[in-house]
Amino acid sequence: MAPFDLIIFGGTGDLALRKLLPALFHRYVDGQIVAGTRLYGLARDSQDDGAYRARVREALQKSLADDPRAPTALEPFLDLLHYRRIDLNADAGWAELATELTDPQRVDSERVRVFYLAVGPDLFGSVGARLQAHGLTGETTRVVVEKPIGHDGASAAAINDALGHVFAESQIYRIDHYLGKETVQNLTALRFGNALFEPLWKAEHIDHVQITVAETVGLERRASYYDKSGALRDMVQNHLLQLLCLVAMEPPSSLAADAIRDEKLKVLRALRPIENGATSQLTVRGQYRAGAVEGRPVPGYLDELGRDDSRTETFVALKAEVRNWRWAGVPFYLRTGKRLAERMSEIVVTFRQVPHSIFGELAEPIAPNQLVIRLQPDEGVKLWLMNKVPGPGGLRLRRVPMDLSFAETFGGRQPEAYERLLMDVVRGNAMLFMRRDEVEAAWDWIDPIRNAWQASSDAPKPYTAGSWGPSAAVALIERDGRTWHEDAG
Ligand code: NAP
């Protein structure tokens, strides 16, 4: 890849140090980032390049263990890195930054320039205006923004307006790191690179779909943000709905970014609205109480928060429906939560039962086929099939998985989502990023749920930390004669 400039606003923050810089380092180790590239961290601290590099060196320690080639690459990588002090709300430092980034002695006019806004969305407008005032928004500029893009439809539209005032939509990369995960991309490969699945990928053959994103962590350092957000906004509006879109979308005509985003948008617009009367039947929200996770006692949400009056949900389960020809009558059950029994994200597609069993009483009941796409941990795909148990004794059947573990099949280290996504921005490939209309359509579906919860006098249902959420979430799916998927092998 030709040398480029990447400027991280919020270069000393958690996201930059824990995710972005390690991802860039791995791309450097693999030779994708070449000499002449300039990486900048920007924040309000006073420090020079040397002090910043020392901080990043420390942050990269874990990455060094991941790859035997990494230790020798560390110092040359750090040489690409610079620190500049800038307060995004003040005028000082911008002119110098602009001179440095546009200096014709050092960069040609074609050089790709990426501004990564690893700061809160309240600063997006101010950054955009200053970049524009200093002539830094030209055609080779791209800007990356992180979630949360708003806390409802109106605030998302305001953020999008502020960005759209300065940048063309094609310059804006709205990141959802779930889309950069290898298994999520593999979902597209599985569906459209094999003739096997697509003919079956419809209501006629699929009974239901489950999407689970379970975390074991609690609030960590995000208490004030999380308590204002809750699981519906923090996880469902973006990650879970994006996964649902990839499962449910029609085959795009190509991998062109807009071909895929057009199809995802149609799915979001086809979601049946969950409004007032339906919220209590189709959604469950929960909040964890003290319990034990992975053998360790942990406090409840309110104790972690240090307040006893929060009604913020740390768990959501809901039943969604895509109103179109392909999916009519097929429920999509989504659930996500904090302090659950294990850290696990997966998509489970359950096919319909065989129409008639010829095996009679000898066999255990025939279980429907299931395609399980595991996003984390142990990324991989399992296809559950009925098989004959070997040996004499009649035709006995058992449900067994065809198991494709990514680590075993492909070996080596699995790249982190940000590695792929950052390089896609530099390459100008927006396929895995969300377009404005997608973000706003997702909020249009989420807002009525949120509003109905707020208007209700019910509090979130309590659940014990280390469990799979409130019992009402089990009832939500069992009412329909189905159960949440549990990996049995
Ligand atoms: P953080 O740890 O609080 O870091 C914020 C960064 O912004 C710091 O470098 C801070 O440095 C800088 N900053 C704040 N105000 C500034 C100003 N006025 N001028 C210049 N720099 C300023 O936050 P984070 O966790 O990295 O998250 C950053 C953004 O990404 C947030 O919007 C968050 O919601 C989003 N996000 C984070 C993660 C994650 O894993 N951390 C994941 C998804 C999305 P100084 O205070 O020293 O200036």
For 156-186, what is each residue's pLDDT tens digit?
999 999 999 999 999 999 999 999 988 888 8
What lies within 8 Å, CB to CB, of 151 at 6+ separation is 228, 229, 233
Q: At what angle do helices 417-427 and 21-29 cross, to 10 degrees?
A: 80
How far apart are the CA of 435 and the centre of ligand 1, in A?
23
> Helices marked H in 306-416 — which ranges?
406-410
Judge whether residue 13 has pLDDT over 70.
Answer: yes
Q: Which atom of ligand 1 is nearest to the CA of 147?
A: 44
- CA dist 332 and 410 (Å) reads 31
108-137 mean pLDDT: 93
Mean pLDDT confidence for 463-474: 97
- Cα dihedral 36, 41, 44, 45, rounded to 10, equals -90
Domain ranges in the chain?
A: 5-175, 181-413+460-478
| Residue 105 CA, ligand 1 centroid: distance in Å | 32
Whether residue 489 has pLDDT greater than 60: no
User: What share of the chain in percent tops pLDDT 90?
Assistant: 81
Tens-digit pLDDT profile for residues 192-214? 999 999 999 999 999 999 999 99
Predicted confidence at residue 488, as pLDDT, reads: 56
Residues near 129 by Cβ (< 8 Å), separated by ≥ 6? 166
Q: Which residues line ligand 1 (CB under 6 A)?
A: 10-16, 19, 43-45, 86-89, 118-120, 123, 146-148
Least confident of 47-61, 111-125, 143-157, 400-414: 400-414
The two tokens of residue 294 are 């992975």
**Protein residue with its CA nearest to atom 4 in ligand 1:** 13
**Model confidence band, residue 461 (pLDDT cutoffs 50, 70, 90):** very high
Q: In which band, very low, low, confident or very high, does the pLDDT at 484 lie, cut at 50, 70 and 90?
A: very high
* Beta-strand relationship, 296-298 and 291-293: antiparallel
Instruction: For 390-421, write each residue's pLDDT tens digit.
Output: 888 778 888 999 988 877 777 777 788 999 99
What dihedral angle (degrees, nearest 10) is formed by the CA atoms of 458, 459, 464, 468?
60
**Do 373 and 186 meet the contact criterion of CB atoms below 8 Å apart?**
yes
Provide the mean pLDDT of the chain: 93
Residue 363: predicted pLDDT: 62
CATH number for 5-175 (one of 3.50.50.60, 3.40.50.300, 3.30.70.120, 3.40.50.720): it is: 3.40.50.720
Q: What is the DSSP letter of 386?
A: E
| Cα dihedral 414, 420, 421, 422 in deg (nearest 10) | 110
pTM of the model: 0.94
Q: How confident is the model at residue 222 (pLDDT cuts 50, 70, 90)?
A: confident
Determine whether the annotation assigns residue 88 to a binding site.
Answer: yes
Closest CA to 456 of 275, 233, 241, 237: 275
The fold for domain 181-413+460-478 equals Dihydrodipicolinate Reductase; domain 2 (3.30.360)
* Cα-based torsion angle of the residue sequence 20, 24, 29, 33 in order, rounded to the nearest 10 degrees: 180
Query: What distances in angstroms separate CA 351 from CA 104, 370, 383, one per listed residue?
Result: 60, 6, 11
Q: What is the mean pLDDT of residues 64-77?
A: 88
Q: Looking at residue 205, what is its pLDDT?
A: 98
Res 362: pLDDT: 62
In the reported structure, the alpha carbon of residue 131 is separated from the centroid of ligand 1 by a whole-number distance in angstroms of 18
